[in-house]
Structure 1
Amino acid sequence: MSLKQKAVSGVKWTTFSSVIVAILQIVQLVILARLLEPTVFGLMAITSVVIGFAQAFLDMGISNAIIHKQEVSHTQLSSLYWLNVLSGIVLFLIVSLCAPVVALFYQEAELTNIIILVAMTFLIQPFGQQFIVLWQKELKFNDIAKVDILTKLVALIVSIVFAYYNYGVYALVYGVLAGTILQTLVFVYKGLREYTISFVFRLSDVREFLSFGLYQMAEKTLNYFNSQIDTLLIGKLLGVETLGVYNIAKQIIMKPIQIINPIVSKVTFPVMAKIQNDTDRLKEIYLKTINLLSSINFPIYLFMLITAPQLVPLMFGEQWVDAVIILQILSIYGALRSIGNPVGSLLLAKGRADWGFYWNLGLFFYVPIVIYLFSRAGIETLSWGMVGIMVSLITPMWYLLVRPLVQAKFWEFHKQIATPAFISMLIGVVISIVLNSLSHLSSFMTLFLTGIIISLGVLILNYLFNKQLIHFLRRTLYL
């Protein structure tokens, strides 16, 4: 297949996988929210931040370096493989030593055992990580999709079974461990049939990858910290139970970004890497990516914002009604956050991981301060603060990152966001008028009618004002 055909095939398989995985995760969240207390989700949210922070060091940016560098020797791959395994062992030891400190900070003694158990994934993941990366580089997203679906299904079953038998937060922990173990076993088994790993480690083989990867590792670490500082501060300032409610809303909000954005970025990064020296084509692909993501994500977040009063009680029960207003505010945050993701693929494709690091270093001195100040006024104010941060970063991101890399002009970039935003606002006005005139509708009918209006509105208005999205969807569906 041509590069274009491989890319479109990758989009299809990644879409299929992401949708199925999202459904499984939502089912898991809905069931567990009825079986577990908010405090459980608060404890797991803190654990996830600690593990996610350490996760950036596990890979050391090597995966993206492998994709960026078009020619990698067998000895280089072998050396990188064992470097990942070694880093996993070191990280497990460091996180285990830090776990009691985290537990003391939040005054939750149980966090020590929870963090150490989840950190065991660092001893498991590295054995299969490189095979995933090599398949991504070769655009073998069909194989990755099948494994991903299988492992998430197993994690779902394990978590629900243990939650049913009153294992509390450990139901979530055992689900994570089960999914990680199965994924690694499958990738090791299938990967070793295609690639051979020798028992060799040479520092000279990994030096050039580390020079690229260290910036990427630092950038990912800062980015993760900036995106999760709200969780850290809420758990400390407002309590674990409040964090549990906030985390439920945030998990729902993050689902479209976690589903839709990787569908595109996992494919566009290796494609961009292959044409990294063709600035015109890079700009075209990047701008189309922004337009596509905005056109898909904005209507989804509009649906969440409008239907939150019906959606939350139906999915999780009346005990989670406090999450409604948070979900509505964070819907705006999620829509704006979805815009920034593709710039990471662009930076890596151009080999400018250092720019990503400096960008996130700047955010490190901006985001935590804003969130801290807003969090002192309560959970709703903090949520609005998150929205304000995203609004304030759009133009600086264009000026400092996008413009120098692909020479995209101000309006060329902002138009890709403004058009989908305009379309979503028009649809929102129509829905408000319709729902106000039909206030007697049941929750199910409100959800159904809102979904129908948004779907029709997206098709009609994009055909009128944003035809490149329609053309892309046609090519994707029928190629």
Structure 2
Amino acid sequence: MNQLAKKTATGAIINISVTLFKNLAQFLIIIPILARILTPEQFGLIAMAMTLVGFLTTFHDLGISAALVRAEKPTAAFWSSGFWLNFGFGTLMTVLAYFSAPWVAAFFGEPLVEELVRLMSCVLFLHCIFLVPMAWLQRNLKFQTIAVIDLAAILISSTVAIVLALNGCGVWALAWQQILLYAVKAIAGMLLHKAPIRFVFEWAPIKAVLPFSLGLTGTAFVGFLNRNTDNVLIGRFLGADALGFYDRAYLMMRMPMKTLSSGLNFALYPALSAVQSDKGKLGTAYLKTVSVLSVLVFPMMTGLAVVVVPFVDLLFGSQWGPVAPVLGILAFVGLLQSVGSIANEVWKARGRSGLLLRWSLIRSAVFIIAFSIGVYIGTLEAIAMAYLIANVILLVPFQYELIKELNISVSAMLAAVRAQFLSSLAMAAAVLVVKGMFPGIESLNSTLQLLILVPVGVMAYGGAMVVFFKSFIRSTFEDYKMLRRSGDSSAPAVA
């Protein structure tokens, strides 16, 4: 294992550790406090406003920042041109959002959404000016710096949001939380990066990467539709209250997955790009990454599904009861999507942005049909179940195309997740058996239920892994020892 692999693993550990701390703070402090002060309707209103803001962020820099990370030796002109392109796009998108606000409010039938969109339109500019500094930090493997910026942004913005909510600001507390989140990132990124940004703009370096970057932009755009069609339909047809419940359930589903896969993928992309032409190394890296990620994600999401009722009651309070059945279904969506997120990084490293776009279009069509069926039925549970079924349908052909590209056998792919999958099933079975044998558990308060059931699940999962999958544990431990001993070769130069 060379120095690049060691830096990648170190970067992933730093990102995952900080993201874990950040998300634990959100889980245990920020979200419970805000959920007890604010109403589902207020969370629904901010989700409505974020549909436009989030939509416009998909066009932020035409994928130029990803191209800067992937380029072998980006020139100073490329860095400068990328930054000023983002600056212009951010300004344009902010103006567009501001003047589009009345139409968004009219679509949802909520007049307050107009004011929210206009206030939050500045998020687009703040986001865009941070992208190139972030690309420089990522390219140069400055993962610790990125982690500190991210942590500072979430802590500052969330603290202000809680103070505002406690002082009766309502939905505006959530709006300012988003603004401050991006403001802190933008300011810190501009101060800490060392990219050679000057008052220069050249079209040539931008034009050279447009086939790759436009494919990523198209993928991001369609990906936004995939992730937000449900919000748009729920907000339009079921109202702000229903959207508030669904939005919290979706956030809880995404958090464990983002904690692990996002931090890992962020560190993984520059490393995969460095070996993009070697299918053997890419295939090995992919299988190892899927294997390690699923060790944590599979039991987390399965465990969440079987203890979801006391979990939601403890975290949010009784007014958020409708979140529980929705989250119980969406947990399995998160399990499936964690594997797909790694595949996306491999395709990006291979420069196959066009293929990513094609799959995003396919997903979008399937998800729109699924969400429409769920909304027609008229319940949040139906929408979540339709989403899960759609993800199951899409997973097999998407993964099959990837393993063919990397010359990975189906048996090797299944072997990478078999131990984790079966052990997670054993864990779920153990928890359900305990609940069935001792029905009085469900009459206890939520804290006591979790104190009983979570250790049962942890012991069942760990026991199954140790008893039935010793070879997997031994292989993982050997990889860890190799990582500790590595360092005999140097990382490739970066600009």
Q: Which amino acid aligns with 1:448?
A: L
Contact persistence 2:430–2:457 (CA under 8 A): no
Contact persistence 2:347–2:356 (CA under 8 A): yes
Distance of 1:476 and 1:451 partners within structure 2: 27
Q: How far off its partner does 1:291 sit? A: 2.0
- The 5 A counterparts of 1:20-169 are 20-26=21-27, 27-169=29-171
Distance of 2:473 and 2:395 partners within structure 1: 21
Contact persistence 2:219–2:356 (CA under 8 A): yes
Q: Judging changes above 3 Å, is the alpha-carbon distance between structure 1 residues 473 and 182 closer, same or farther for their aligned structure 2 residues?
A: farther
Would you say 1:363 and 2:366 are equivalent positions?
Answer: no
Contact persistence 1:297–1:335 (CA under 8 A): yes
Distance of 1:446 and 1:416 partners within structure 2: 33
Q: Judging changes above 3 Å, is the alpha-carbon distance between structure 1 residues 246 and 106 closer, same or farther for their aligned structure 2 residues?
A: same
Distance of 1:242 and 1:411 partners within structure 2: 43
Q: Deviations over 1:227-286 (max 9, x none)?
A: 221111111121111111111111111111111111211111111111111111100111
Distance of 2:365 and 2:440 partners within structure 1: 49
Describe the SS at the equivalent of 1:341: helix
- Residue in 2 aligned with 1:379? 380
Contact persistence 2:279–2:406 (CA under 8 A): yes
Q: How far off its partner does 1:307 sit? A: 1.2
Describe the SS at the equivalent of 1:60: coil
Distance of 1:209 and 1:469 partners within structure 2: 42
Distance of 1:176 and 1:388 partners within structure 2: 32
- Residue in 2 aligned with 1:431? 431
Q: Judging changes above 3 Å, is the alpha-carbon distance between structure 1 residues 431 and 375 closer, same or farther for their aligned structure 2 residues?
A: same
Q: How far off its partner does 1:106 sit? A: 0.6
- The 5 A counterparts of 1:74-473 are 74-191=76-193, 194-377=194-377, 378-400=379-401, 402-441=402-441, 442=444, 443-463=446-466, 464-465=468-469, 467-468=471-472, 471-472=475-476
Moved more, 270-279 or 284-293: 284-293
Q: Judging changes above 3 Å, is the alpha-carbon distance between structure 1 residues 273 and 178 closer, same or farther for their aligned structure 2 residues?
A: same
- Residue in 2 aligned with 1:11? 12
Distance of 1:104 and 1:410 partners within structure 2: 50
Unaligned runs of 5+ in 1: none
Q: How far off its partner does 1:348 sit? A: 0.7
Moved more, 214-223 or 201-210: 201-210
Distance of 1:198 and 1:266 partners within structure 2: 27
Q: How far off its partner does 1:382 sit? A: 1.3
Q: Which amino acid aligns with 2:458?
A: S
Contact persistence 2:343–2:399 (CA under 8 A): no
- Residue in 1 aligned with 2:493? none
Contact persistence 1:127–1:184 (CA under 8 A): yes
Q: Judging changes above 3 Å, is the alpha-carbon distance between structure 1 residues 96 and 42 closer, same or farther for their aligned structure 2 residues?
A: same
Q: Judging changes above 3 Å, is the alpha-carbon distance between structure 1 residues 99 and 417 closer, same or farther for their aligned structure 2 residues?
A: farther
Q: How large is the RMSD of aligned CA atoms in angstroms?
A: 1.8
Describe the SS at the equivalent of 1:276: coil
Contact persistence 1:371–1:382 (CA under 8 A): yes
Equivalent residues, number: 476
Contact persistence 2:40–2:241 (CA under 8 A): yes
Distance of 1:51 and 1:320 partners within structure 2: 26
Contact persistence 1:226–1:368 (CA under 8 A): yes
Contact persistence 2:419–2:472 (CA under 8 A): no
TM value normalised by structure 1: 0.95
Contact persistence 1:66–1:209 (CA under 8 A): no
Q: How far off its partner does 1:56 sit? A: 1.2
Moved more, 389-398 or 41-50: 41-50
Contact persistence 1:292–1:469 (CA under 8 A): no
Distance of 1:51 and 1:433 partners within structure 2: 46
Contact persistence 1:295–1:469 (CA under 8 A): no
Distance of 1:221 and 1:268 partners within structure 2: 22
Q: Judging changes above 3 Å, is the alpha-carbon distance between structure 1 residues 230 and 40 closer, same or farther for their aligned structure 2 residues?
A: same
Distance of 1:97 and 1:467 partners within structure 2: 60
Describe the SS at the equivalent of 2:440: coil
TM value normalised by structure 2: 0.92
Distance of 1:468 and 1:140 partners within structure 2: 32
Moved more, 308-317 or 350-359: 308-317
Describe the SS at the equivalent of 2:59: helix
Contact persistence 2:299–2:424 (CA under 8 A): yes
Distance of 1:451 and 1:40 partners within structure 2: 32
Q: Which amino acid aligns with 2:357?
A: F
Q: How far off its partner does 1:160 sit? A: 0.3
Q: Which amino acid aligns with 1:42?
A: G
Distance of 1:108 and 1:200 partners within structure 2: 44
Distance of 2:170 and 2:306 partners within structure 1: 32
Q: Which amino acid aligns with 2:382?
A: T
Q: How far off its partner does 1:145 sit? A: 0.8
Q: How far off its partner does 1:121 sit? A: 1.5
Q: How far off its partner does 1:295 sit? A: 2.2
Q: How far off its partner does 1:459 sit? A: 2.9
Q: Judging changes above 3 Å, is the alpha-carbon distance between structure 1 residues 374 and 125 closer, same or farther for their aligned structure 2 residues?
A: closer
Q: Which amino acid aligns with 1:23?
A: L
Give aligned-pair identity as a percent: 23
Distance of 1:470 and 1:453 partners within structure 2: 24
Contact persistence 1:398–1:413 (CA under 8 A): no
Unaligned runs of 5+ in 2: 485-495
